[in-house]
Structure 1
Amino acid sequence: MSSAPLPDAASGPLRRYDLDWIRVGAFMLLILYHVGMFYVPWEWHVKSSHEVAALEPVMQLTNPWRLTLLFLVSGAATRFLADSLARDGRTGAGRLAGSRTLRLLPPLLFAMFVVVPPQSYYEIVEAVGRLAPQADAYRNAFTADFWVRYATASGNWCGPDGCLTTPTWNHMWFVAYLLVYSLILAALLALSSGRFRALGVLLERGLKGWGLLIWPIVFLAAIRWGLAYRFEITHDLVEDWYNHALSFSAFLFGFLTARSESLRQGFIRLRWPALLIALAAWAAWAAYAWEYRAEDAMPAEALRRAMRIVYAADQWAFIAAILGFGARHLNHGGPVLRYLTVGVFPFYIVHQTVIVVVGHHLAQLHLPLAAEAGLLIAATLALCFLAYEVARRSGWFGLLLGVRPQAAKRPPRAA
């Protein structure tokens, strides 16, 4: 990918294939994570009759950092896009805002009114037995005229724990937040005449040596201490302040450091210590979450405070290890990466609906756990690839699933 000759970009790489591979891997992990949500005892849209409590520590392996990593990598991808759009000394902020809006808004709206509604439908179907038992769960007062009631926010689907809000974006909250963050970034670039990029130099200076591991953990622990207990993660955009402090910071970090060779080398040098810290923190956090998994469990306040630091160490150490090993071993392109870099966005858009719909109907067959889970994973991957293949052959309609016309025939750009 070509880049405008910006002062802080001259010595940086023109493309980070390692970040592309990490992005693909993170999205694939997210798909498997949501398959796990069908089986783990935690609350979700639909549930299998096979409850697997032993999955909880496995889910905790990625739970603290998977989306933070995605925001960081998305910020880095946005940096390369922004630099490619900067021309003749101009920041390219307007072009960036337009590009991000065209890429993210159509799939967000399409998902909210076409892709996501089946998730709410089957959530209601499975709740019918708890709210108002019916002989036929699919045909009752709760699901009658479903889509119209969903789209007009007139469903009145309420139970003891509250009401189901529609229309909703469910898993597409990530895309909504990414769009908002991109527009804020474009405004920052415009207001600063592009000098905002220079903050990356300050990050380089402040994150030398072990500071690359220590200071981000301090920051993550600070926002967890100061915000997490006051602002539960809601994904509703307007009251999600801890999540914004976490996700927007990761997005900006990725944007500001994407071209930094010194930080890339720092991650490579610290990859093994980061991995050891990550595994130790995961073991401690998973044990804590398992011990106090009951709803009425009340750990001591001192322990809760200490675990906020452990959680922060878990978050950043895993991210640092992944960035380090990725920079060391994954900085190469090729046709597979080209295909998947474009494909993982439509994968993300459709995957959760596929899991919900296929999982709900597989559960009715009462298959053994291994057969059910195997079929669910296979069907999810197959339908994700099918959605991508349809989108890449649909011209401008492919934008509804996040695929620009002819995108698969060009080198991948930011998503």
Structure 2
Amino acid sequence: MQRRHDLDWVRVCAFGLLVLYHVGMYYVTWDWHVKSPGASHALEPFMMLSSPWRLSLLFLVSGCATAFLLGKARRAADAPGGRMRFLGSRSWRLLVPLVFGMLVIVPPQSYYEVVEQLPGGYHEGYLAFYARYLTGHDGFCDADGCLDVPTWNHLWFVAYLWVYTVALWLLWKLVPRGINAAERQLGRWLSGIGVLAGPVLFLGVARVLMIGRFEQTHALVDDWYNHVQYFGVFLLGFLIARTDGVWDAIERQRWPALVAWLLSWAGLVAYFAHFADAAPPDWARMGMRLAWGLNQWCAIVAVLGFARHWRPADNRALRYLVPAVFPVYILHQTVTVVVAHHLKPLAIPPTVEGPLLVAITFAACFAGYEVIRRVGWLRPLFGLKRAGEVPSRSPEPLAWSER
């Protein structure tokens, strides 16, 4: 099986888009850890271009990668402990960075959030804050509630990915025939126009039925709407990973998907603009939720379809970026929050400050990666293999990086 360089590029670009999105969060009116004095609605329509689907795309690609990784584990299953080694490896590569991130990388985000948003400010310094952070202090409160610490903030994706991987591993271990039957059935259902209609219906109905009942918390235990959509697309990615007919259909439907994505985006922007100061009627709210599901899946099909059509080749840049993705992801939001807070007193116009913040975030994160990959004890803390381990030469795309 040929390595899916198109999926490698999709994953790299999706995480790059995530960096841009989080910089954008500083300048829009939506709630975030720190806010620009010039925050406004101006950037919000452009944020909506990726807001409905960027994380679903990452979970779907991760599901595909997990299918190939489990394929390797299946071939090694006859060896003693072959199946358990897969789960142990994934847990090591995801949970160690998650715990390290919560203890070291994420706390500055919460600190500057408290400094900027706590009524009266916070003046005791970072070390005093960090001591309270580690002990689960519940006194960082404002009119919107109290800050829960310790927290994983943007690293919630890693926690969810580990839970979904464990759930999938259990399904693969307990009902392998059911998994194989589901792969074959989906291959038939999604080989034509169903590749658009089926997932759109699932995501749209899930939003209609659940978004009003379950808040999106990223707290794992009470985040039921997010679990339905994200585990749904993660499982879908796993089931279609090796089904060529589905990928052929995705490639054929790339243009209709692109048109539907952009039209639904325009509809969502118009909806939020029209009802900015008034409660929408129920029919409009339900229509918006269905349009959200349409936008969510059609954007993913467009991205995957054009990536497959272009069939990008392997090159030096890709071989550098694939292992860099996870460390850069772990670092990026903290860099953005810290730099944005310290740029604020300079009163730089947002049109200048925004691109500068993007450039500094990428530069600092890749500089950090250059250090991380050269220091043996840092590598596992950021999801990289220990120094000296031989990179996998498997042609399959990998969940994060095997280099």
Q: TM-score range by the shorter chain?
A: over 0.9
CA deviation string 1:320-374 (max 9, x = no partner): 1111001111342122111111111111101000000000000111112233112
Aligned to 2:66, which of 78, 81, 89? 78
The structure-2 alpha-carbon separation of the partners of 1:100 and 1:409, relative to structure 1 and needing over 3 Å to count, comes to closer
In structure 1, how many angstroms separate the alpha carbons of the residues matched to 2:314 and 2:62? Answer: 18
Tell me whether 1:274 sits opposite 2:257 in the alignment: yes
2:190 is aligned to 207
Using the alignment, how far apart are the partners of 1:306 and 1:170 within structure 2?
A: 31
Residue 97 of structure 1 is matched in structure 2 by 87
Aligned positions of 1:113-152 closer than 5 A:
113-128=103-118, 131-132=119-120, 137-139=122-124, 145-152=128-135
CA 1:344–1:151: 2 relative to 1, 3 Å: same
Structure 1 stretch 107-116 or stretch 218-227: which is displaced more? 218-227
Match of 1:304 among 242, 263, 285: 285
- Measured after TM superposition, the shift of residue 302 of structure 1 is 0.7
Bigger CA drift: 333-342 or 272-281? 333-342
Which of these residues, 304, 313, 337, is aligned with residue 332 of structure 1? 313
Counterparts in 2 of 1:378-389, with a 5 A limit?
A: 378-389=359-370
Residues 1:211 and 1:413: Cα distance change in structure 2 (over 3 Å): closer
Are the equivalent residues in 1 in contact too, given 2:76–2:83 (CA < 8 A)? no
Using the alignment, how far apart are the partners of 1:222 and 1:117 within structure 2?
A: 37
Shift of 1:386: 1.3
- What one-letter code is carried by the residue in structure 2 that aligns with 1:344? V
How many angstroms apart in 2 are the aligned matches of 1:380 and 1:64? 24
Q: Displacement of 1:187 after TM fit?
A: 1.1
User: For 1:383-402, what aligned pairs fall within 5 Å after superposition?
Assistant: 383-402=364-383
Match for residue 3 of structure 1?
none
Q: Which amino acid aligns with 2:114?
A: I
Partner of 2:399: 414
Question: C-alpha root-mean-square deviation of aligned residues, in Å?
Answer: 1.9
Question: Which amino acid is 2:327 matched to?
Answer: P
Aligned to 1:256: 239
Aligned partner of 2:223 in structure 1 is 240
- Any unmatched runs of 5+ in structure 1? 1-12
Equivalent-residue separation in structure 2 for 1:147 and 1:31 (angstroms): 25
Give the letter aligned to residue 345 of structure 1.
Answer: F
CA displacement, residues 8-58 of structure 1 (integer Å, 9 cap, x when unaligned): xxxxx3421111110111000010000000001111100112223210100
In structure 2, what is the Cα distance between the partners aligned to 1:198 and 1:93?
A: 21
What is the aligned partner in structure 2 of residue 41 from structure 1?
29
Q: CA deviation at 1:394?
A: 1.7
Match of 2:356 among 334, 352, 375: 375
Q: Is the 8 A contact 1:77 1:413 kept in 2?
A: yes
Among 159, 163, 187, the alignment partner of 1:180 is: 163
Describe the shift of the 1:35–1:88 C-alpha distance in structure 2 as closer, same or farther (beyond 3 A). closer
Contact persistence 2:48–2:265 (CA under 8 A): yes
Name the amino acid aligned to 2:85: R
Of 52-61 and 329-338, the range deviating more from structure 2: 329-338
Preserved CA contact (<8 Å) 2:96 2:381: yes
Q: Which stretch shows the higher mean deviation, 265-274 or 87-96?
A: 87-96
> 2:57 matched to 1:69?
yes
Q: Which runs of 5+ in 2 are unaligned?
A: none
Q: In the aligned structure 2, how far is the partner of 1:195 from the partner of 1:341?
A: 32
Which residue number in structure 2 is paired with residue 10 of structure 1?
Answer: none
Matching residue's letter, 2:281: A
Q: Is the 8 A contact 1:231 1:241 kept in 2?
A: yes
1:378-402 alpha-carbon deviations (Å, 9 max, x no partner) = 1100111012112211224311112
Deviation at 1:403, TM superposition (A): 1.5
Q: Distance in 2 between matches of 1:356 and 1:202?
A: 46
Name the SS of the counterpart of 2:205 in structure 1. Answer: helix
Structure 2 distance, partners of 1:335, 1:410, is 17
Structure 1 residues 386 and 409, CA gap change in structure 2 (3 angstroms): farther
What SS does the corresponding residue of 1:388 show, helix, strand or coil? helix
> If the length of structure 1 is used for normalisation, what is the TM-score?
0.91
Q: Secondary structure at the match of 1:305?
A: helix
Match of 1:320 among 279, 301, 323: 301
Q: Distance in 2 between matches of 1:363 and 1:408?
A: 45
1:71 and 1:389 mapped to 2: Cα distance? Answer: 27
Task: Give the conservation status (yes or no) of the 8 Å contact 1:339–1:408.
Answer: no
Distance 1:203 1:396, change over 3 A: farther
Given that residues 363 and 372 in structure 1 are in contact (C-alpha distance below 8 angstroms), is that contact kept between their aligned partners in structure 2? Answer: no
Contact 2:207-2:289 at 8 Å conserved across structures: yes
- Give the Cα separation in 2 of the matches to 1:336 and 1:309: 39
Residue 45 of structure 1 aligns with an amino acid whose one-letter code is H
Mapped contact 1:392–1:408 kept (Cα < 8 A)? no
Counterpart secondary structure, 2:75: coil
State how far apart, in whole Å, the 2-side matches of 1:358 and 1:49 are: 15
- How many Å separate the matches in 2 of 1:410 and 1:189? 23
Contact 1:39 1:48 (8 Å CA) reproduced: yes
Q: Give the residue type in structure 1 aligned to 2:247.
A: R
Conserved 8 A contact 2:77-2:83: no
SS of residue paired to 1:101: helix
Tell me the number of residue pairs that the alignment of Structure 1 and Structure 2 aligns.
394
- Tell me the amino acid that sits aligned with residue 358 of structure 2: I
User: Compared with structure 1, are the counterparts of its residues 89 and 290 closer, same or farther at alpha carbon in structure 2 (3 Å cutoff)?
Assistant: same
CA contact (8 A) 1:48 1:363 kept: yes
Which residue does 1:221 correspond to in 2? Answer: 204
1:52-78 CA-to-partner distances (Å, cap 9, x unmatched) read 321010000000000000000011111
CA distance in 1, matches of 2:390, 2:351: 35
